[in-house]
Amino acid sequence: MVQKPVAKVVKTPVAKKKKKPAIKKKKNGFKKFWKLGIEEYNTQDFDVGPDAELIVKEGNFQYNIFDIVKKYGTSTEIMFPTVIENRVRDLIETFNAYIKVLGYKGKFFYHYAMKVNQNKEFVLPAVAEGANLEVSSANELYLVKRMIEKDKFNAKIRVICNGPKTEKYISLIEELKSKGLIVIPIIEDETELERLTKFKGEVGIRVNLDIKVQSHWDKKFNRYGFTEEELLRIGKIKNLSVLHYHISKQIENVQGIIKPLKRALSLYNQLREKNPGLDTLDIGGGAGVPFEKKKHFYTGKSLIAQIVKTAKRECDKLGTKHPNLIVEWGSYVAAPAQITIYKIIAEKTVGNKGNMKWYVIDGSFMNDLIDTWAIHQKWHVIPVNHMNSRKLEKVWLAGASCDSDDKYTAGGTYIMLPRLSETDELYIAVMDTGAYQDSLASHHCLLSSPAKLIAQNGEIKIARRRELPEDVGKLFGW
Ligand SMILES: *Cc1c(COP(=O)(O)O)cnc(C)c1O
């Protein structure tokens, strides 16, 4: 029969080679299943290794995440400075490319919003790629002062100062200004307007645009800045060079950024009548990150193209000078630069939910990933090992604190993870944790914060070791 010789052929080396594509296809299948290797999802550097373990690439270096957590333990954050560098570089290059191609006359300035992540390992790579800074408090500005004192910055770096201007904050602004730094306070209310008439440099002013967009933030209660009418009534503002607004974070579609931009350009045009020195529009933060890896999400490139096109078209229509453009995108740059790894330490059945399980992690959502709880953030969660498992379980995740709110239910649905009984041990990675979670972190039930590792140039450095009981006790006066 025909079949027999074919079966024999399979044993020859040539036939073995033929089998290879099948294995490769399977592997790519798992890569696809966990939504890795996809640029729109910011997972282009993630892959499934030959042992079904999570791999993160940095150029031609690569990190086996399972090996790393076996060595350093969990809970652990792993931060990739290269991601910050690449995202800042791409962002600046893309803006400049569209400015050139479209014949836009203003300049572009990127300001890294420090409040998104103030860790040195986040800020310095951004600065190294040409980021300016945006600070939201005197304490953040104090970090800038320390960097200047160490001669870390060239004199051209620009710092935008948002947030309530206490006297301490204003005197630090004045001190840094007198040292030659370009530091631009943004006026947010009447008191600051009055106080900053004494300031000797450029100032900006913040408008609270009367506009709603799809995002995480309830705009009804926005308390920052002046209304459009108030600004037009004030008229002339001493040394005004920047008009600033910040609509929200995690804006869900491009129109949510373009609509306020149009409105602000019209205001910019009107304010220029009495303030000819006004030459810059700062559109704040808000560019989103595809946390969920589900819906189609806009890319940075398409967003930037729309911003420059809109600015040019509207200004030409109004017959006004093209403003310099500032963006203060924080999450966009920082979120994809970090992952948080936990070990699954127990499994429990979910009360009356039939086939659902709780997986308990060796860390805490309430402490380490507080947006899970605060704004119902949805995360992309993947296994770190056993990535080729076909026996999956529908699970909710529970934190190890004593609090019933310490959980992640993916918004009431579930996530899929390998069945625990099929694994010797299971680790998971929560992706895109680089924005906001660090400075909001807490110590409920006195759990230790995750260790923080930096992965760069193929090497792992410990930026913050895991807290010992005595470290945590100290925080509470023991
Ligand atoms: C928080 C904040 C940002 C950063 O916002 P993202 O949405 O993370 O980009 C930028 N500008 C201001 C004024 C902010 O308050």
Give the model confidence (pLDDT) of 146-191 as tens digits. Answer: 988 887 777 789 999 999 999 999 999 999 999 999 999 999 999 9
Place of tokens 């410990």: 462
444, burial (CB in 10 Å: exposed 0-12, middle 13-18, buried 19+)? middle
Q: What percent of the chain has pLDDT over 90?
A: 82
CATH class of 34-478: alpha beta
Q: Which long-range contacts (CB under 8 A, 24 or more apart) does 319-322 make?
A: 320/265, 320/268, 320/269, 320/272, 321/105, 321/106, 321/272, 321/279, 322/104, 322/105, 322/106
Task: Say yes or no: CB of residue 111 within 6 Å of ligand 1.
Answer: no
Domain boundaries, the chain: 34-478
Phi, psi angle pair for 363, to nearest 5°: -170, -160
Give strand pairing partners of 327. 110
Give strand pairing partners of 55. 47, 64
Residue 332 alpha carbon to ligand 1 centre in Å: 10
- pLDDT tens per residue, range 70-101: 999 999 999 999 999 999 999 999 999 999 99
Inter-residue contact 54 to 387 (CB < 8 Å):
yes
Task: Say yes or no: CB of residue 87 within 6 Å of ligand 1.
Answer: no
Distance CA 219, CA 210 (A): 9
Q: Name 308's Cβ contacts closer than 8 Å, sequence gap at least 6.
A: 95, 98, 99, 102, 104, 325
pLDDT at 355: 82
Q: Which atom of ligand 1 is nearest to the CA of 436?
A: 8
Q: What is the mean pLDDT of the chain?
A: 91
Q: Which atom of ligand 1 is nearest to the CA of 162?
A: 13
Q: Pick from 91, 75, 72, 38: which is nearest to 302 by CA?
A: 91
Q: Which atom of ligand 1 is nearest to the CA of 435?
A: 8
**Helix (H/G/I), strand (E/B), else coil: 385:** coil
Q: Which atom of ligand 1 is nearest to the CA of 284?
A: 11
Residue 96 alpha carbon to ligand 1 centre in Å: 21
- pLDDT tens per residue, range 212-241: 777 765 555 567 899 999 999 999 999 999
Inter-residue contact 359 to 398 (CB < 8 Å):
yes
Distance CA 298, CA 86 (A): 18
pLDDT at 354: 75
pLDDT band at 27 (very low <50, low <70, confident <90, very high): low
Q: Looking at ligand 1, which residue's alpha carbon is closest to its atom 10?
A: 285
Can you say whether residue 59 is alpha, beta or left, with left for phi > 0 and alpha for psi between -120 and 50 degrees?
left
Pairing of strands 46-48, 54-58: antiparallel
